[in-house]
Amino acid sequence: MTDLPPRPRLALTVTFAAQLLVALVTATAAVIAPTVAPQIGINPQRVGVFNALAYLSAMVSGMMLAPWIAWVGPVRFTQILLGCAAAGAALATIGSAAGLLMAAVLVGISIGCSNPAFNAILGRHVPDASAGLYLSLKQAAGPAGVAAAGFILPIWLEWAGWRASLLLVAALCLLAGIAAARVMCQLEWRSGTKPARLAVLSSLTTVISQPALRRLGVVSMVYAMAQQGFLAYSVLLLLGLGMPLVSAAALLATSQLVSVFVRIMIGHVADRWIPPRPLLAAYGVTGGFALFALAAVPSSPHLLLAGATMAACATTTMGWFGLMFTQLLRIAPREELALCSGGLLVFTFSGSILGPSLVSWALERGASYAAVFTCLGVLTIAGGAALPFHAPSRAAERAREVADRALRS
């Protein structure tokens, strides 16, 4: 394993930019679906199917490829992921079912291995005392990418059309991949041990075999169901209530920006005052009530009411990822971060598949948006309430941190 001087700011810059672009590509489908889907003969509510397929690809690719990240090198892997995101955006311009299928698979690969690769970069470079802040800053790129999609894509759609807009997104990903090569010598590290042939399931079995990781994975699955249900269908909900697309997309984007600042603040709180596990549980409970509020928004809502409700949902359903990985740092060795992240994300992506799929299924069978968001809220509250039970004590978590720090030194 290569010894490198810590470069936390550079590591954060690279991972933040890559995470933002992956989130931008992922959110593109939900933002452009109301305009583009009728043009190519697809029901806009089927955007949930595209998201579900993308996250199925993410789950499989993360499980298969996460054990190889340390051997290939996480920065080089980041370049590969950005290339997959660019190819997915470009293939979607075909506008056919086959093109969208291939696009969903490639976008899913970029989603599935992004957090294991980015966590491996940050885990090597960030200081222990500020790990929560750095991981929250990196995860803040997720809602920032969704916000960029909400603000930029409607303008690009008016200016250049949907195919040119997707090609512009693809070009941004390619440029970022090229830029990452310029800093590889300052950040890259590689494991000298090649994964075994049967390493495909090792990340999943590692998480399943440890009760604390397993419980964290189940909770992340429930949270991801609510997160992806909100992302895929909140704009369509607002459209159904009589709001124009530009306003609905702008509210989604603004809500993501609000969640960026809140999750950074919460990451600092997790480093200084409150451990990540109770904070993660609080996210689930408050997120459930935020989804209840979204379900109760009336027709032709006032812009401030709709904006406040969207901001509450985005802050709670989108802000937990950084805390999840901060908690992972407390219960998993640093050298196994990529492996454990990959296994944990199998659960997370399972929820990302189930959420939009079940919402799409329910809507096509006559359920209302209010009903489906209420159900998601109930599940989220249950997940948050269950997290504190049967988990390692805080003393055990601190002991693991001390042992891991001693191993690194």
pLDDT of residue 52: 80
Secondary structure (DSSP) of 262-324: HHHHHHHHHHHTS-HHHHHHHHHHHHHHHHHHHHTPPSS--HHHHHHHHHHHHHHHHS-HHHH
Q: Compute the 3-state secondary structure of the chain and give helix, strand, coil in percent, each to the nearest 5.
A: 85, 0, 15
Which parts of 126-210 fold into alpha helices (H)? 131-139, 141-160, 162-181, 184-187, 202-209
Residues 312-346: tens digit of each pLDDT: 999 999 878 878 888 887 888 766 777 788 788 88
Which range is least confidently modeled, 125-134, 149-158, 390-399? 390-399
Mean pLDDT of 126-154: 83
- From residue 34, alpha-carbon distances to 46, 105, 155, 335 in Å are 10, 21, 14, 44
Q: What secondary structure letter does DSSP report for 365?
A: T
Tell me what the mean pLDDT of segment 142-146 comes to: 84
Q: Which of these, 358, 325, 382, lies nearest to 123 by C-alpha position?
A: 325
Q: Are 263 and 144 in contact (CB under 8 A)?
A: no
Q: What is the pLDDT of residues 145-181, one digit of tens each?
A: 888 888 888 888 888 888 999 999 999 999 999 999 9
Q: What's the confidence (pLDDT) of residue 1?
A: 46
- Our measurement of the distance from residue 148's CA atom to the centroid of its chain's CA atoms, rounded to an integer in Å, reads 15
Rounded to the nearest integer, the mean pLDDT of the chain is: 85
Q: What is the spatial distance between Cα 283 and Cα 19, in angstroms, rounded to a whole number? A: 22
Mean pLDDT across 83-107: 91
Q: What is the pLDDT of residues 64-82, one digit of tens each?
A: 887 788 888 899 999 999 9
CB 317 within 8 A of CB 290: yes
**Helix ranges (DSSP H) in 38-161:** 47-65, 69-72, 74-91, 97-112, 114-125, 131-139, 141-160
Average pLDDT over residues 205-229: 91
pLDDT at 208 over 50: yes
pLDDT band at 112 (very low <50, low <70, confident <90, very high): confident
- For the stretch 269-310, pLDDT in tens is 888 888 888 999 999 999 999 999 999 999 999 999 999 999
CB 66 within 8 Å of CB 343? yes
Could you tell me what percent of the chain has a pLDDT over 70? 91
Which pLDDT belongs to residue 397?
55
Q: Are 55 and 111 in contact (CB under 8 A)?
A: yes
- In CATH terms, the fold of domain 8-191+199-408 is Growth Hormone; Chain: A; (1.20.1250)
Taking residues 375-396, report their average pLDDT: 79
pTM over 0.85? The answer is no
- Per-residue pLDDT, 23: 92
**The pLDDT value given to residue 396:** 55
- Return the percentage of the chain with pLDDT > 90, whole number: 38
The model's confidence at residue 41, banded by pLDDT at 50, 70 and 90, is confident
